[in-house]
Structure 1
Amino acid sequence: MGGAGKTMLAKAIFQELKAQFDTFSFIESVKELQRKKILLILDDVENLIIAEDLSRVCDWFGEGSRIIITSRDMQVLKHASAFSTYHVLDLDFDDAFHLFSLKAFKQYEPFKGYMGLSKSVVKYCQGNPLALIVLGCFLYGRGKEEWESALDKLNQTPHKNIVDVLKLSFDGLDNKQQNLFLYLAFLINARVYKSFDLIRQLYGSSVHIEMSVLRERSLISVSQKEKIGMHDLVLQMGFEIARQQLFSSPKTPVRLWRHDEIEAIRCMSLDASKIKRIALRASNFQKMYNLIFLKVYKSDREKPSRLNICGDLDYLSEEIRFFSWEEYPLPYVPLQFCAENLITLEMP
């Protein structure tokens, strides 16, 4: 019944409780809102059901109303029945350089003597605005030695604030999708030709839906020739996740990014021209029963291999899919070598 005090009571409750909430809004009349021309912006929507529900209320609002949704997941926008979608592109070098300079120097150009260092940072960021802002703010007011030290560190480990934001897309994946992403990151880092056909042979036909999810979350790209790619910062995020997995659960099968991460190997890639001289016991391979990928290569052909095999290599995992060994040191393949699952064999 009108005039009973419903609105007055609702306003009193609103004033009483609003301090307990992060955000709040009181809409006095839904009917009035229904006729109004509004602009509604919803940022970082992840839930498919919420997105679908939004599409059902569009008719409530007045003619000319606009609803803008941002999401890391293209599938969310499909469920929202978006009239049009826009994929935000990376900045070109000039725009990226200006954005970084504004954060690092509070002006459009670097200070004298910082031009080369600034270009190195901008190149590292690969046009990603978040990385440009985070690193620009981090380097603001620091001396050249600190800049050089920061760049050296970035080549080993990405900045935590950048990883934390990029990792949100990874965290939204299920276990199978997360593992596929990490394997793809490993293959890209190992400079293996990445095609849908190779991935399908590794994971079976069900890989198509998993790859589709990774694309929708902008974790990978696929060219017209079906070659799989990954943004450099996303690739670095993969390295960091793999390292964290190694430290948190050393007995779980993982991917080997560096030669000093030996425990429970599933994938291994070694640059024999750059590692410290090591002797790998042939018997170690008997423990690598989860190994599916093994690549030994030399990025510097002028340098000798620093990897030595001690003993007779008489065993390789039955799960091995990819075997590539530049300057293979033995005159024969392992005696207990099962080629049933092998996809690629390279022994240049």
Structure 2
Amino acid sequence: MDVASTALEASSSSPPSSSTEHWKYDVFLSFRGIDTRQTFTDHLYWTLKDNGVNAYIDENELRRGENIPDELKHAIERSRISVIVFSKRYADSTWCLEELEKIMECRRARSGQMVLPVFYNVDPTHVRKQTGSFAQAFRRHEKRFREDKDKVQRWRYAFTEAANLAGANLRNTDGYEGKFIRKIVDHITRKLNNTCLDVATNQIGIESRVQEVSNYLNVGGPDDVRIIGILGMVGTGKTAVAKAIFNKFHRKFEGKSFLSKVRERDMVKLQNQLLCDILKPAKKEVCSIAEGTKEIKKRLSSIRALVIIDDVDCQKKLDELAIKRDSFGPGSRIIITTTNAHFLRILEVDDTYFPPAMSNEEALQLLCCRAFTERHPSDEEYLELSRKVVEYCGGLPLALEVLGSYLCKRTKREWRSALRKLKRKPHGEIHEKLKISYDGLIDDEVQAIFLDICCFFIGMKKDHVMAILDGCDFDPLLGIGELHDRCLVSVDEGNNLMMHDLLRDMGREIVREKSPGIKGKRSRLWDPEDVTDVLITNSGTERIEGVTLDLQGSHEPSFSAEALKNMQGLRLLKLKGVKFTGDCKHLSKRLRWLCWPGFPPEAIPEDFNQPNIVDIDLSHSRIQVWKDSDMVQCNLNQIINSFLQVF
């Protein structure tokens, strides 16, 4: 058949070696210099080079002697693929015959070495049987080496063996050498996996995720241009899925490009990579963003391409890369991985895929592969410790991989110590990677809303929280909307605000880092030990904006109401099972949310007045009325939960 995919796929069917350490070259070119050095082989060599293939070609046209030198032997031995260009006078050269014999010897002896015969204006049958243009050459060799008939017989055998391999035949094509060379190079790059991306071996759970995205892509379907989003919080495996998709489908496209870490990279370099990946030797180097955008629209609009834009953080970058349907040819597929749903809405993507959290079994396998290089440890105690780490990670691949690598080769005692530490403080590498999304929020108000939710509002009704935040002079509609778009919060079926535990821990660590040593100078206090310490030592300051403490069911210490005196920046206060001595006349006038079920009546001063409160819950409190009727005039905005409930 023609030099097309199926014929070429059949050649050199031996699987590549699992180890590539002994390969020095990708391709060794064997050819008769007089026939093709300055024509076909030269064009093939440079096309291979332009496609990133490390090809070896013997530059010496004046070789002397009967035997090929060690230099060429070593080059053949250390090449993944040997391409034999059979031309009419190939067999005239004893040098070529020695090369061919060595090539076939290496193919037989070394697993993973491949051979691709190219029949350049010769009939494969003539090569196989040494007839036609090759018959006279072999007759001369038999006369010349009549005392060493085995030598000629080995050459004949090598000829026959090579010709029996499926290869590339110029006579079976339309005769255009350029197309012929391109098909050969495409086949070679596929065999070498030069365009495949590095991914972890034995990826856990990747196949099902790839299949779901494949359904959205519909590769080989209609010739429309489809744009697919892969959306999720940092660390959910979006890039791993995108790489697996690229490796699976890139051969089906005329052009392909994977632009990684777009968030971090220079735009002109990204534009040049996109143009280079798809246009190859025909690329044009651009020097400015405007020029790059124009060139992408101009040069790629007729090419059927697979383009993956990984880790996008702003719409401007998508615009500058001309990521639009009319920028690429019919049948193109574009995949965008991001933590921001807003970009995907603007692009009006065809579908959006949300990588799910790993199941407990998948998570355990991934952790153990990193920690023990096997999917399940044989030691029962290590297995139980692994399950506790999995529970902490909440199905997040990033955390599982980082902690698995961190715990690798550590003792059980070190594992237990690490688990205790994680309860107090998140792992540094995980924290920094998750914090990227927080740092990318549009302004400090949205960041403040995020920190409030981390510390106080997880699991509460969204509308309830919005009412409280609105009273804090925030814009919760936009703020929570931004957090939702950024995959930092979610809303469950009951309309409750939810968040991954590791995002919660990341937000709380941001608060703690502002004042690691002095708890009373932190903006928010949520840890029972920290709050208790601040109240006992009366070390609170005006920097504290929110406090929550739940001592129900525990030994209930009593605190002095004076501990609240210095917290004049307090906006949010939630207490359960907490007792104070003295009255609460020092409560901050900035208070917007007071949630204090079981509020002790003796703690209320006669002139108690909180004019800025918008949400109050004093359920289960033995309170009848405030003497100061001004409280009735306070700005109760939306929700009063069991206000002044009497038992």
Q: Do Structure 1 and Structure 2 share a fold, with TM-score over 0.5?
A: yes
**Which residue of the other structure, out of 235, 246, 253, is the alignment partner of 2:504?**
235
1:94–1:312 distance in 2 versus 1, CA, 3 Å = same
One-letter amino acid of the structure 2 residue matched with residue 269 of structure 1: T
State the alpha-carbon separation in 1 of the partners of residues 546 and 303 from structure 2: 58
How big is the shift at 1:177?
0.3
How big is the shift at 1:34?
3.8
How big is the shift at 1:22?
8.0
How big is the shift at 1:171?
0.5
Deviates more, 1:142-151 or 1:63-72: 63-72
**Which residue of the other structure, out of 130, 136, 154, is the alignment partner of 2:398?**
130
1:34–1:144 distance in 2 versus 1, CA, 3 Å = same
Q: Deviations over 1:245-277 (max 9, x none)?
A: 234998977111322453322111224369998
Residue 294 in structure 1 maps to residue 563 in structure 2: no
Q: Deviations over 1:132-175 (max 9, x none)?
A: 10001101111110000000000110101111111111111110
1:223–1:241 distance in 2 versus 1, CA, 3 Å = same
Q: Any conservation in 2 of the 1:293–1:320 contact (CA below 8 Å)?
A: yes
Residue 345 in structure 1 maps to residue 632 in structure 2: no
One-letter amino acid of the structure 1 residue matched with residue 587 of structure 2: L
Q: Any conservation in 1 of the 2:512–2:522 contact (CA below 8 Å)?
A: no
1:44–1:347 distance in 2 versus 1, CA, 3 Å = same
Q: Any conservation in 2 of the 1:271–1:296 contact (CA below 8 Å)?
A: yes
State the alpha-carbon separation in 1 of the partners of residues 545 and 405 from structure 2: 39
Equivalences, count: 318
Residue 321 in structure 1 maps to residue 592 in structure 2: yes
Q: Which has the higher contact order (CA 8 A, sep 6+)?
A: 1
CA RMSD of aligned residues (A): 3.0
Q: Which has the higher helix share?
A: 2
Counting aligned pairs with the same residue, the percent is: 32
State the alpha-carbon separation in 2 of the partners of residues 224 and 70 from structure 1: 26
Look up the match of 2:306.
39
How big is the shift at 1:242?
0.7
Deviates more, 1:61-70 or 1:228-237: 61-70
Equivalent residue runs for 1:31-180 within 5 Å? 33-54=300-321, 57-112=324-379, 113-173=381-441, 174-180=443-449
One-letter amino acid of the structure 1 residue matched with residue 618 of structure 2: E
1:222–1:273 distance in 2 versus 1, CA, 3 Å = closer
Look up the match of 1:200.
467
What 5-or-longer segments of structure 1 have no aligned partner? Answer: 1-20, 299-304
State the alpha-carbon separation in 2 of the partners of residues 250 and 139 from structure 1: 30
State the alpha-carbon separation in 1 of the partners of residues 390 and 411 from structure 2: 17
1:57–1:345 distance in 2 versus 1, CA, 3 Å = closer
**Which residue of the other structure, out of 452, 475, 479, is the alignment partner of 1:183?**
452
**What's the TM-score, normalizing by structure 1?**
0.80
What 5-or-longer segments of structure 2 have no aligned partner? Answer: 1-267, 284-294, 535-539, 621-647
1:56–1:312 distance in 2 versus 1, CA, 3 Å = closer
Q: Any conservation in 2 of the 1:100–1:133 contact (CA below 8 Å)?
A: yes
Look up the match of 2:633.
none
Q: Any conservation in 2 of the 1:316–1:334 contact (CA below 8 Å)?
A: no
One-letter amino acid of the structure 1 residue matched with residue 617 of structure 2: L
Deviates more, 1:145-154 or 1:326-335: 326-335
Q: Any conservation in 2 of the 1:195–1:228 contact (CA below 8 Å)?
A: yes
Look up the match of 2:494.
225
Residue 267 in structure 1 maps to residue 529 in structure 2: no
Q: Any conservation in 2 of the 1:268–1:295 contact (CA below 8 Å)?
A: yes
Look up the match of 2:605.
334
Q: Any conservation in 2 of the 1:55–1:80 contact (CA below 8 Å)?
A: no
Q: Deviations over 1:35-84 (max 9, x none)?
A: 32222111111111222455565423222222211111111222333222
Instruction: Find the residue that maps to 1:197 and give its secondary structure.
Output: helix
Look up the match of 2:523.
254
How big is the shift at 1:328?
4.8
State the alpha-carbon separation in 1 of the partners of residues 520 and 301 from structure 2: 58
1:43–1:336 distance in 2 versus 1, CA, 3 Å = farther
Deviates more, 1:203-212 or 1:122-131: 203-212
1:188–1:200 distance in 2 versus 1, CA, 3 Å = closer
Q: Any conservation in 1 of the 2:393–2:502 contact (CA below 8 Å)?
A: yes
Deviates more, 1:66-75 or 1:196-205: 196-205
1:343–1:232 distance in 2 versus 1, CA, 3 Å = same
Q: Any conservation in 1 of the 2:582–2:602 contact (CA below 8 Å)?
A: no
Q: Deviations over 1:218-268 (max 9, x none)?
A: 111112332111110011011101111234998977111322453322111
State the alpha-carbon separation in 2 of the partners of residues 322 and 35 from structure 1: 59
1:197–1:314 distance in 2 versus 1, CA, 3 Å = closer
One-letter amino acid of the structure 2 residue matched with residue 231 of structure 1: H
Q: Any conservation in 1 of the 2:364–2:390 contact (CA below 8 Å)?
A: yes
One-letter amino acid of the structure 1 residue matched with residue 407 of structure 2: L
State the alpha-carbon separation in 2 of the partners of residues 79 and 249 from structure 1: 45
Q: Any conservation in 2 of the 1:52–1:81 contact (CA below 8 Å)?
A: no
Deviates more, 1:135-144 or 1:38-47: 38-47
State the alpha-carbon separation in 2 of the partners of residues 247 and 101 from structure 1: 33
Q: Any conservation in 2 of the 1:324–1:346 contact (CA below 8 Å)?
A: yes
1:335–1:289 distance in 2 versus 1, CA, 3 Å = farther
Instruction: Find the residue that maps to 2:400 and give its secondary structure.
Output: helix
1:212–1:324 distance in 2 versus 1, CA, 3 Å = closer
One-letter amino acid of the structure 2 residue matched with residue 291 of structure 1: L
How big is the shift at 1:110?
2.1
Deviates more, 1:207-216 or 1:85-94: 85-94
Equivalent residue runs for 1:6-17 within 5 Å? none
State the alpha-carbon separation in 2 of the partners of residues 162 and 52 from structure 1: 31
